[in-house]
Amino acid sequence: MKRERIEDIAEIIDKRGKMTLEQLEKEFPNVSQMTLRRDLYQLEEDGRIIRVRCGAMSVKEVQKVSGEAYVKKTTINTDAKLIIAQKAAKLIEEGSCFFLDGGTTAMYLSKELPDINCSIFTNGIAVAMELAQKKNTQITVVGGQLMKDNLSTASPAAKEYFAASNFELAIVSATAFTPENGFSCNSQTESDLLRQVFQKARHVYMMLDSSKIGKINPFTFAHIKDIDVLISDDKLPKEYKTLFEENEVVVI
């Protein structure tokens, strides 16, 4: 019972790389915080995790990123992004073929994604590296100039790039959304790339965490009517939900 729980904790920390105590409490609602703390202590003794402020991180995670630079994960709206990623992961079918952007939410999705046979196009190199750990996925990186802030690539040559590629689904996220300005991001080439992607894809799933609503970024790449499914978190305001639904967007 105890042993089992500790195993579960280790596993979940390995998978997510990092867990706050708060998150662990949500995962294990029937034990107290103190018990979880004691479990973490033991896992630290076993050398499987490193306890940090507010939680713990996986030793494996640190080792994994050893080749590259270990980049601190952004903690902004972590929970929301995770929830969205988990929802999105459930929508991916074995054998499918889709485009995934290079954002933070996509990073979470990469981790949550089961190791199924599927083919993924991405413009995020961190996403690509994460996906590379899976055995059954086929990954294609869209080349182009690297934007250091989000580790994504974008290139005006995307059009030629996609000429011989096919994917029926695009899963992307925006950095800002308003009903008037639609979905926007802060890079023109990225915006262009996404437009190309949308032309190719038959279906578009938009991952949008609620903190992005009401914000505007310089480059709009899509409007409500361009997407088929909106994946968001619990805090999505009702009026937005109905707005999307009125436009025939499935809100999850």
Q: Summarize as ranges the residues that interact with its own copies (CB under 8 A).
A: 44-48, 50-53, 57, 59, 62-72, 74, 107, 125-126, 128-133, 138-146, 148, 151, 153, 155, 157, 160-161, 164
Q: Considering only the stretches 49-57, 61-69, 95-103, 178-186, report the one whose residues sit in contact with DNA under the rule CB under 7 A.
A: 49-57
Burial of 187 (0-12, 13-18, 19+ CB in 10 A): buried
Binding residue (CB under 7 A) for DNA from 12, 31, 91, 243: 31
Kindly write down the DSSP assignment for every residue of 183-246, as one continuous string: EEES-HHHHHHHHHHHHH-SEEEEE--GGGBT---SEEEE-GGG-SEEE--TT--HHHHHHHHH
Q: Which does 57 bind (CB under 5 to 8 A by kind): DNA, its own copies, none?
A: its own copies
30 belongs to the binding site for DNA (CB under 7 A) = yes
Cβ closest to DNA, residue 4 vs residue 149: 4
Q: Which does 62 bind (CB under 5 to 8 A by kind): DNA, its own copies, none?
A: its own copies
Cβ closest to DNA, residue 39 vs residue 190: 39
Per the structure block, which two tokens stand in for 224? Answer: 């409500």
**Residues 6+ away with beta carbon under 8 Å from 20:** 54, 55
Cβ closest to its own copies, residue 125 vs residue 243: 125
Q: Of 79, 76, 144, 86, nearest to 111 (Cα)? A: 86
Cβ closest to its own copies, residue 153 vs residue 191: 153
Q: How far is CA 43 from CA 49, 54, 62, 80, 195, in A?
A: 6, 15, 15, 27, 47
Q: Residue with structure tokens 């994917």?
A: 167
Cβ closest to its own copies, residue 124 vs residue 182: 124
Q: How far is CA 164 from CA 145, 161, 167, in A?
A: 20, 7, 10
In the complex, what is the shortest distance from the CB of residue 37 to DNA, in angstroms, rounded to a whole number? 5
- Decide if 96 contacts 200 (C-beta within 8 A): no
73 belongs to the binding site for DNA (CB under 7 A) = no
203 belongs to the binding site for DNA (CB under 7 A) = no
Per the structure block, which two tokens stand in for 170? Answer: 């695009």
32 belongs to the binding site for DNA (CB under 7 A) = yes
Cβ closest to DNA, residue 34 vs residue 71: 34
Per the structure block, which two tokens stand in for 213? Answer: 């609503």
User: What residues numbered 52-71 form the site for DNA, per CB under 7 A?
Assistant: 52-55
Report strand pairing: 203-207 vs 229-231: parallel
5 belongs to the binding site for DNA (CB under 7 A) = yes
Contacts to DNA by CB under 7 A: 1-2, 5, 21-22, 30-35, 37-39, 41, 51-55
